[in-house]
Structure formats: C-alpha cells, structure tokens
C-alpha cells in the first residue's frame, strides 16, 4: 500500500469474461462509435484513478496496445468478475480498487469521488453503485485488504458476487441521477442504433459473392415456413434493378414523376419508392419500417454488411476467400463446408446441413425472446 494520507485508488477494467451472449466475441474489443468499447471506458475512468489496470484473459497483446498493464485471472476457466477483482487487488499498489466493466462505455465521471466519500463515511470496506433500482456489483470500490478473504471464498468454489459482498458488509452508493452510466452491451443487437431496435429478431446472412447466399435462402425458407416461422427477407442490391417493367402502367406513372407508386392485387402488394439521392445507400432501418412486424417471427437480411446486427457467416472454401469473422464482431455463428484453421469460440455449422442451420435459427429466435 502507498504511504499517502489520502486513500489511493487503482482502476480495474473488467474484460476477462467469455461474452457468451455476444457470440463469444471479446466484448472490450468490439467497435462502438469508431473505437473499441474498452477505449471509451479508459477515457472515462483513467482520469479518476492513480493507476489503471486491464483485466483480460485473452487477446492480451491487443489489450496491451491501449498503454496500460494487462493482468489475467489467477484462476483458470473464466471464473467471473470476482476473479478479476482478486487479480486487481493482488496487483494494485494502492489502498483500493475501483472496478468497471469493459462493456459499459460511459461510467460516471463522479464514480471514484462519490464511491470513496460514501465508503469512508461508512467505515466499511466495499461500496457498490446502485442505479436507484438495483445494485450494479461490477461498479464497486473495494479495499485491497480483502484480497485474502476473497481468495479463500473463490477457493471454496463460490462465485456469487452479491453473496461475498454481503458477507463483508457493503454500502450502496446512489447513482440514480445517472442511470445511463450503467448502460452495457451484452448482445450484438445492443450495439445497433435506436432506429434499428426491432420487436422481432433480425439475423443477417453474411458472405462473399459466390458463396451461395441466395441458394441457401431458397432452400432454407421452405423449411422455416414448415416449422411455423413467419419471416421476411430484406436484400440489398449492389446494382441497378427495377421490379417494374417498361411499358407497364405503374412504370409509366413513376417515370412521369410520382415518387411513390403502390400496386395492389388480391395476392400481392408492392410499393416502389424513388430514392432522391442516388449516391446514398439504402438504410436497413428504412426497410424495417416498411415491414408488418406484428405478423413476423424473424427478419433475415442479405447484404447491409456494415450494419451492427447479429449475423450468420457462410464460408465456402472453394471460392478462396478468408473468413469475415473475427473482423466483424457481429457474427454469432459460422456455416462452412470445410475445417477451420482457427477456433472461433462461436457455433460452427455444416454449410450443407440445412437441418443444423434450421436448429440454430430456431434456438436463436427462442433465445431472443428469452433474453
């Protein structure tokens, strides 16, 4: 510990989890507003502490590039946030550690001040932030003297953070005036802009040209329908196309200057809308707004590769293209016809096994509604 008369604090950014709900992607490294998530946390937390450490259990070299020491759990097997807190206490040379998760990009600028003042007044050794509705245990201030007790707790097989906090005696610190500072990202769709929030699950089909996206969809869609899944497909076209043929009445009306033409029959309804800016790519949010979501269970999206939506990557070795994963952090599974040279830590499916892909999509839909 330091000899300072004023308590000193080391910040610990917790980035050591498996991120299973994020498809196994390392959450701290996922891009958000043009930077990795952890870069936002560093920006807010570093000015508040004497030292800053990053707790990570994989991609160590990438985390080291942020310029702060990287520490891993002393316990193997992704044992949860308490293991990261223990590693922080064991490494810190300050009186306290102040923890924040790597997937909450906007921790409060008053986190250290409010937590430390409340803790010192209480005489306790653990302060936990609350958003006014519930505690946020990964936003905590802990005295480093607790390291030995925490090590014994974990050695006993316990992992529940709330239970250990209560055993030590904790104080709750009110941040109900800043609930947005606890916003975190657990699923790929959480990274979508608000305009892309959707009442039904969205799944992108991502692949290089020539992989057979459309072929797969035409084979898969009948199986999805037979399984009772009501679905829509949104497809991005990279070339000029026209569903309305020259000479038809609707074509002549649109060419005459109508920006929107809706053609309806007993079996089909089609809306054609002219894009005033020919240089502007269509937005997925605009396409979603035109769907009857109340009568859908799933939206499949082909194209729109820049959108932050959950995606199933199709990979065919014969076309000689690399994997899109892990450069696209929104990919949650890979369907391939060959052995992969990496272990992606996300589901890998047989591209030629339609039933396996169908089961994956069914599970994805169920998980979406369960979460």
Domains of the chain (ranges, CATH numbers): 9-186 (3.90.550.10), 190-236+281-370 (3.40.50.300), 246-278 (2.20.25)
Instruction: Report the pLDDT value the prediction gives residue 345, as an integer from 0 to 100.
Output: 81
pTM: 0.52
Per DSSP, the three-state class of 14 is strand
90, pLDDT greater than 50: yes
Of 223, 204, 190, 177, residue with least CA distance to 311: 204
Instruction: Report the pLDDT value the prediction gives residue 262, as an integer from 0 to 100.
Output: 73
192, pLDDT greater than 90: no
Lowest mean pLDDT among 182-191, 192-201, 327-336: 192-201
Of 34, 171, 45, residue with least CA distance to 101: 45
Per DSSP, the three-state class of 263 is strand
The model's confidence at residue 352, banded by pLDDT at 50, 70 and 90, is very high
**Please, how many CA atoms are within 13 Å of residue 219, restricted to the half-sphere of its CB?**
12
Residues 284 and 233 sit within 8 Å (Cβ to Cβ):
no
Of 18, 7, 13, 83, residue with least CA distance to 41: 13
């Amino acid at each position: 510990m330091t000899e300072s008369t004023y308590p000193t604090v080391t910040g610990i950014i917790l980035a050591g989890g498996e991120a299973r709900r994020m498809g196994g992607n390392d959450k701290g490294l996922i891009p958000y507003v043009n930077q990795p998530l952890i870069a936002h946390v560093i920006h807010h937390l570093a000015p508040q502490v004497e030292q800053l450490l990053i707790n990570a259990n994989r991609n160590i070299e990438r985390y080291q590039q942020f310029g702060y020491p990287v520490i891993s759990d002393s316990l193997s097997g992704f044992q949860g946030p308490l293991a990261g807190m223990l590693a922080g206490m064991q490494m810190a040379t300050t009186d306290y550690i102040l923890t924040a998760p790597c997937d909450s990009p906007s921790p409060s600028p008053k986190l250290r001040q409010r937590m430390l003042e409340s803790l010192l007044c209480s005489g306790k050794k653990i302060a936990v932030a609350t958003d006014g509705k519930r505690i946020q245990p990964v936003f905590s201030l802990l005295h480093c003297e607790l390291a030995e007790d925490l090590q014994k707790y974990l050695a006993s097989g316990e992992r529940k953070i709330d239970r250990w906090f209560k055993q030590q005696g904790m104080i709750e610190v009110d941040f109900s005036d800043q609930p947005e500072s606890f916003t975190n990202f657990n699923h790929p769709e959480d990274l979508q802009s608000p305009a892309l929030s959707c009442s039904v699950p969205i799944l992108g089909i991502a692949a290089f040209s020539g992989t057979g996206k459309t072929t797969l969809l035409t084979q898969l869609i009948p199986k999805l329908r037979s399984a009772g899944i009501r679905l829509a497909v949104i497809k991005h076209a990279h070339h000029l196309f026209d569903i309305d043929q020259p000479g038809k009445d609707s074509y002549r009306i649109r060419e005459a200057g109508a920006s929107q033409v809706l053609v309806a029959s007993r079996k089909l309804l089609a809306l054609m809308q002219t894009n005033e800016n020919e240089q502007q790519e269509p937005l997925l949010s605009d396409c979603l707004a035109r769907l009857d979501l109340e009568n859908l269970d799933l939206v499949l999206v082909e194209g729109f590769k820049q959108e932050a939506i959950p995606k199933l990557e199709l990979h065919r070795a014969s076309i000689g293209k690399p994997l899109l994963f892990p450069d696209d952090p929104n990919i949650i599974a890979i369907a391939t016809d060959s052995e992969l040279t990496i272990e992606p830590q996300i589901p890998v499916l047989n591209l030629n096994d339609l039933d396996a892909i169908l089961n994956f999509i069914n599970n994805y839909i169920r998980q979406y509604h369960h979460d």
